[in-house]
Chain A
């Protein structure tokens, strides 16, 4: 029983970073109705830039973290300009395909930056652990959860209380109407990409600092985890993305404990398969449909 609770706690903590990845996909999908396949690759490139500084100049942890975030945001802006801004609003497929191409390109850049397969990623200084009752809390994972909670809280405030957040929600519902309202849609979308990249950068940094290593496949891994968590929650729903990320983390933690390491990733695919068969819209799918129906009934 204690094992079960401990696994669940671990799963929630690691799942919080999946939730951040899913939020990254969800915001772009919600605002633009397009999939940004380069999202995981931008995070990977940002982390590679941080690792490169660490390997060649032995900079401290804070510099690695800031470099990772800054380069992820820059890579995100690059993807936005190239695959989204430059592509017409109704050409969703063109954005998806071009972002896939940029994914490949960023992976090549990372491999040229650091040609060996695996590098050590500096772990967080909060390496210790503490106990509450019978439960063990690892320092990195607790940091992960706290950072994720801070990011989600800040995101919520931004969306609900600021004019850019409101503009983002308006564009989400009806981009055309937002144009009529005098909203500079391209600028808001660029800001959204920068924001999403920042969230992804935080997720990527904490995951890599926990794993203590990085490979070029991190982009692929982050894309899988983010997309699966988003689809579990329901495309375009932020609460769904958070829930999807946490559930994915918990299921993986149990699979790792009860079945072994080789079943961890498999459990994620089985979970997604079950969800798509039983409830194709995801946890929040019905609510999204209802909301859209409500929105369009009056138009």
Chain B
């Protein structure tokens, strides 16, 4: 099967420092692929380069065979790639409904119309009852659900998830990971960045390990799970899920 997303020799600099240095990776249709690594390893920079938030310094990014490197973010979204950013970045002054409508910007007509959202009720029942509330009043878990729901609004084929379980309780993390699995069942391909290595490897098909901007290890999730170096480096520190903060 050919790759849906192919990144070749990607370099990204951020604030004068080279955050990503010659990274190559690929994501095939229907896969959940994960990038794991410490804080500051360059995981978010890779996602931001793919989604057009950061301009790549070198290398190629191909989506379904076409180069998308350096395109502005709105053009990347138009092609079917949506990033759910770290820290959720929901619009607190807008209502839940408006948050969803903003994300559907490219698909909606000039006048906003309240749409039926059968998927929302099925996947995010807690949000469906709070459509008219200001998003600032949501709890942390609900805010993360809204960030995910918002990511789906423009009908993406590839979803880039940046630390979706960050700051959530173990119970809510379980819910988020379950949701990611359900999204894949719906045919959405997922590139996932996470610090919670154990849970991520249990969910992903394949994973890449990123250290100081370079890929040092990659393979199927099962292979990596039995890799001793990885286990000692990452599993130890990632045990309590809710202690992540930055």
Residues of chain A touching chain B, judged by Cβ–Cβ distance below 8 Å, are: 161-164, 166-167, 169-170, 173-174, 176-185, 291, 294-299
Asked if B91 is at the interface of the complex by the 8 Å CB criterion, the answer is yes
Q: Which of A170, A296, A297 has a CB less than 8 Å from the CB of B94? A: A170
Chain A interface, >50% SS class: helix
Stretch of B79-87, B191-199, B202-210, B232-240 at the chain-chain interface:
B79-87
Chain B 121-153 interface mask (CB, 8 Å, partner A; 1/0): 000000000000011101010010000001000
Asked if B17 is at the interface of the complex by the 8 Å CB criterion, the answer is no
- Cβ of B153 to closest chain A Cβ, rounded Å: 8
Q: Which of A162, A166, A291, A299 has a CB less than 8 Å from the CB of B89? A: A299
Number of B residues near A (Cβ < 8 Å) is: 39
Contacts of A295 in B (CB 8 A): 91-93, 136
Report whether A298 and B88 are in contact in the complex, using a CB–CB cutoff of 8 Å.
yes
Q: Which of B92, B110, B150, B154 has a CB less than 8 Å from the CB of A164? A: B110
Determine the residue in chain A with the shortest Cβ distance to B108. A163
Determine the residue in chain A with the shortest Cβ distance to B142. A298
Report whether A166 and B85 are in contact in the complex, using a CB–CB cutoff of 8 Å.
no
Contacts of A169 in B (CB 8 A): 91, 93-94, 98
Residues of chain B touching chain A, judged by Cβ–Cβ distance below 8 Å, are: 51, 53, 72-74, 76-78, 82-85, 87-94, 98, 101-103, 105-106, 108-112, 134-136, 138, 140, 143, 150, 154
Report whether A161 and B53 are in contact in the complex, using a CB–CB cutoff of 8 Å.
no
20 A-B pairs besides A182-B76, A295-B91 with CB distance below 8 A are A163-B108, A169-B91, A170-B102, A173-B93, A180-B73, A180-B85, A180-B89, A181-B77, A182-B74, A182-B78, A182-B82, A183-B74, A183-B105, A294-B93, A294-B136, A295-B92, A296-B92, A297-B92, A299-B89, A299-B92
Contacts of A180 in B (CB 8 A): 51, 53, 73, 82-85, 89
Report whether A294 and B134 are in contact in the complex, using a CB–CB cutoff of 8 Å.
yes
Q: Which of A162, A167, A176, A298 has a CB less than 8 Å from the CB of B102? A: A167
Q: Which of B110, B134, B138 has a CB less than 8 Å from the CB of A163? A: B110
Q: Which of B98, B106, B109, B140 has a CB less than 8 Å from the CB of A182? A: B106
A162-B111, A167-B102 known; A181 and B136 CB under 8 Å? no
Contacts of A184 in B (CB 8 A): 72, 74
A167 to B103, CA, bound (A): 9
A176 to B91, CA, bound (A): 11
